[in-house]
Amino acid sequence: MPTITRQDQCLAALSRIRRVVGKPGDPYRVIFVNQHGSPIVPLTEWYHLRQHLGPESTRNTYLTCLQPFLTYLEDRSCPWNAAPSQLRPMIIAFHRDRLGCQIHPGKDGESIEIVPTRDTPLRPSTLRVLRAALRDFYVVLKDAGLYAFPNPLTSEVLVTLKREQTRTLGNRGAPDHAGIREETREQSRRRPTAFIRHPKDQGWKPELRKELADVREGMHKVLDAMLDNKMVSLREKAVLELLQNTGARLHEVVLMTVGGWCNEGMAGQAQIINKGSMGQEVKTIYFAHNPKVEQTLTTYLEQARPLHDPHGRKRLADMGNNEALFITERGTPYSMKAFYFHWYKHYKRLRNLCPVLFSPHDIRHLFITEYLIRLKLACQVGTDQFDEEGYLQAREAFGSLVMGWRSIHTINIYDHSRDVEKSLSVLADYQKDLSQRRYVSTPPSLMEIQNIQEDVSPETSEELTSNRSTDTLWMHDRETLAWIKKLQQQKGQYERRG
């Protein structure tokens, strides 16, 4: 059964919209109605149009966020398709009155900042998803010709300003690698145009604990145990092989199509839906050099999938390109929720193999981390032969070609964490030594040894040498040695007086 989160419950409590399942043959599979039973046309139309524009999970998440807002518009008798000047005060009032947020005007005078308070029932991350859902709602309906105005979630003034600033850039037509453009294209793209903004956070960073060698080794042990377990189905094994070998996101693998795997006859790679590609298979994943991946996929296709295919088909040629590669026991397309159900069922018995808990998404970070380690070794990092330019070029190509990132700077997040991981690795070794009561002292440098030898008198040197077999030899600095000499002189004076 699908998991109902606390955030979903909070949003559901703010909505009085319910869904009605359409009859067979109806143009709409689902119709949304208000508390009086009247259909909510824009939400029904958006839900219908959105079915082919990305993962089903994204559509359902956005739906959960949209229902409270459309309920609020009905309560305030504000039409959903009103002009932005009329909708924006409603958006502000919704966040203030229904969600308990504080509203601050932006410094540019054209945007607002949403700040959650202790009365806000939603997490900051959920508020960001709500903003994305509202923007998506008007983008989809505007593209369909159902909304006649600019998107109310975007400031037209900021859009115009961004266009003018881009037009006045020095060498604006030059590519980034030329090094003469006044700012990178990524910086230009990121110029803000949103009407709603949220307080800036530190941004996402990988969990450094999961990048240590013992954790990475433990994650591989868990994955290998699942792949060797006869209780794990061929479908789950095929998904795990793809996650481990390609670094793809879970939904990208689960939603693979027959045509994406065929990939026009290109063996060892497949086309998948990338994040933000609106349902288009534009990203390529590569797995040609691990025969186990292709073998597991082929075995699933020939042995497991026909058992649940309504037509019992075993050959790709007999299937349509848009059909789901992975299907459930009912013959319906596989989903992330279904995978998570099987994942936690098997993971529960194997989690002790890894020092920390991890999720399927962490397999993606494991792939990136270990690739960077191997790339640095291949470029001879730490030696005089280190090819820094070649490393940076290969790293950038990996980010765009293999991971499908739009920004060339995303890889920096992982690379910086590798530097910190070295510090944590040394700390881990140190703490292990402490647990075994092994202590490491810093050896003196050659120059310190020479200085000590010059400062020690022949008598002191002989005394230290004679006691070497029984006493501990301590290395001192000049101030300490001078103090020792003074004590020895005083001792000699007392002996002569005696």
Sign of the dihedral defined by the CA atoms of residues 167, 170, 176, 177, in that order: positive
| Bridge partner list, 270 | 285
pLDDT in tens, 94-135: 999 999 999 888 877 778 888 888 888 888 889 999 999 999
Most confident of 12-16, 162-166, 271-275, 354-358: 354-358
- The sign one gets for the Cα dihedral 478, 480, 482, 485 is negative
Report residue 472's pLDDT band, with 50, 70 and 90 as the boundaries.
very low
**So what's the pLDDT on residue 107?**
76
Q: Domain map of the chain by residue range?
A: 6-161, 208-428, 446-497
pLDDT (0 to 100) of residue 254: 93
Q: How confident is residue 56, by pLDDT bands cut at 50, 70 and 90? A: confident
CB 197 within 8 A of CB 113: yes
Around Cβ 97, how many Cβ atoms within 10 Å?
A: 12
Residue 471 scores a pLDDT above 80? no
Contact 290, 245 (CB under 8 A): yes
What confidence score (pLDDT) does residue 274 get? 80
Is the predicted pLDDT of residue 475 greater than 80, yes or no?
Answer: no
**Between β-strands 112-115 and 196-197, what pairing exists: parallel, antiparallel or unpaired?**
parallel
Residue with more model confidence, 427 or 117:
117
The set of residues, in sequence order, having a beta carbon less than 8 Å from that of 223 and lying 6+ positions away, is 240, 244, 363
∠ CA 373-379-383, rounded to 5°: 100
The pLDDT of residue 458 is 52
Query: For 124-171, what is each residue's pLDDT tens digit?
Result: 889 999 999 999 999 999 999 999 998 898 877 666 776 777 777 665
SS3 109: coil
- Tell me if 481 sits within 8 A of 452, measured CB to CB: yes
- Per residue in 319-365, pLDDT tens? 998 899 999 999 999 998 899 999 999 999 999 999 999 999 999 99
Structure tokens at 270: 């497949």
Residue 474 has what pLDDT? 45
User: With contact defined as beta carbons under 8 Å apart, do 253 and 325 qualify?
Assistant: no
Banded model confidence at residue 476, pLDDT cuts 50, 70, 90: very low
- Of the pLDDT bands very low, low, confident and very high (cuts 50, 70, 90), residue 177 is low
Of all residues in the chain, what percent carry a pLDDT higher than 90?
35
CA angle 337, 407, 339 (to 5 degrees): 10
The average pLDDT across 24-47 equals 88
Domain 208-428 matching CATH 1.10.443.10: the answer reads yes
Q: Is the pLDDT of residue 268 over 70?
A: yes
Looking only at Cα atoms, what is the longest distance across the chain? 120
Q: What's the whole-number average pLDDT of the chain? A: 81
- Scanning the structure block, which residue is given the tokens 């399942």? 21
Q: Which two tokens stand for residue 184?
A: 């990178």
The sign one gets for the Cα dihedral 462, 466, 471, 475 is positive
Give the model's confidence band at 308: pLDDT under 50 very low, under 70 low, under 90 confident, else very high: very high
- 445 or 317: whose pLDDT is higher? 317
Determine the pLDDT at residue 423. 64
Indicate if the pLDDT at residue 468 is higher than 50: no
pLDDT of residue 342: 95
Given a contact cutoff of 8 angstroms between Cβ atoms, the answer to whether 325 and 257 are in contact is yes
Q: Which residue has the higher pLDDT, 168 or 229?
A: 229
The answer, yes or no, to whether residue 375 has pLDDT greater than 70, is yes
Q: What letter does residue 270 receive in the DSSP assignment?
A: E
| Of the candidate ranges 110-119, 384-393, 408-417, 449-458, the one whose mean pLDDT is the lowest | 449-458
How many Å apart are CA 28 and CA 238, to the nearest integer?
34
Q: CB of 88 within 8 A of CB of 195?
A: yes
Q: What are the residues facing 281 on neighbouring strands?
A: 273
